[in-house]
Amino acid sequence: MSRIVYVNGTYLPEEEATVSIFDRGFLMADGVYEVTSVLDGKLIDFAGHAARLDRSLRELDMDSPVTTEELLEIHRRLVAENAIDEGLVYLQITRGNPGDRDFAFPEPGTTAPTIVLFTQAKPGLADSPAAKKGIRVISIPDVRWGRRDIKTVQLLYPSLGKMMAKKAGADDAWMVEDGFVTEGTSNNAYIVKGSRIITRQLGNEILHGITRAAILRFAREAQMEVEERPFTVDEAREADEAFITSASAFVMPVVEIDGQVLRDGTPGPVARRLRELYLDEMLKAAV
């Protein structure tokens, strides 16, 4: 069944949705995005995603075509029109179509940004079989640009990373720079030593995950110890547990790193508890 999507102020069937070939998102990856998950037909942490979107736009000197209130309304209407119970809403804003290809940004006020939103249904998102089994990751070099804190649509290297993982018979890849893990291809990376949760500190090297912020808050509220610092692949291979977080994976246990099985190869208690805590708390606050 065809979806209803949103393009520049209009709700329409996906087959009728178009964007110009001159759009800078298409030609230059000059755009930012957000992914917000939907559980029980409600948006998880919409406020967090809206705040990060504003920051990404500001960092790139890009205008937003909509207010946060309008954005919430668009998200809700798409969830309702497409009858999404479990799934996600994808949002992208680009610097628009200046009429020609040019490296320089268009003069301020001359080019309207492009905004596109669509839904993806993902039945079984919360009760995911992968979360019960855990995933296997490999490590790969991090060769992305230096502003990974901005959520841009430049996703070619993360795509290549997922393909490298697939080829190696793994589920995902952790990227490594100067000897330390930065993050997963589309998620933040964590290890657990004893009862301590260790994850890289915020900076330009990683995306400031919205799920990461919530997880660290819940962990601290539950008196769990959190250490924000870089870690190596060797340290991770010897950890008691590992996991990743993202808006679409929530908390996903990692049971193997570069062929080294962690624990007995099953999800650990810290990752399991954090996943439960996250889903419980976020469902209560969903809008």
Residues near ligand PDD (CB under 6 A) are 35, 183, 186-188, 207, 209-212, 245-248
DSSP 3-state percent helix, strand, coil across the chain (nearest 5): 30, 30, 40
Q: Is 284 a catalytic residue?
A: no
Question: Least distance from C-beta 243 to ligand PDD, angstroms?
Answer: 12
Measure the CA–CA gap between 131 and 116, rounded to whole angstroms: 30
Q: Identify the helix (H) or strand (E) that includes residue 71.
A: helix 68-81
Smallest gap, in angstroms, from Cβ of residue 4 to ligand PDD?
Answer: 21
37 versus 97: smaller Cβ distance to ligand PDD:
37
The residue (of 94 and 186) whose beta carbon lies closer to ligand PDD is 186
Element (H, E) at 241: strand 241-246
16: left (phi over 0), alpha (psi -120 to 50) or beta: alpha
Closer residue to ligand PDD, CB minimum distance, 6 or 250: 250
In the complex, the smallest distance separating the C-beta of residue 273 from ligand PDD, rounded to whole angstroms, is 18
Helix and strand element counts for the chain (H, E) = 8, 15
Place of tokens 């400031």: 208
> Smallest distance, Å, CB 207 to ligand PDD?
4
- Please pick, among 122, 133, 151, 166, the residue that the annotation labels catalytic: 151
If the CB atoms of residues 50 and 97 are measured against ligand PDD, the closer one turns out to be 50
**Catalytic residue annotation:** 151
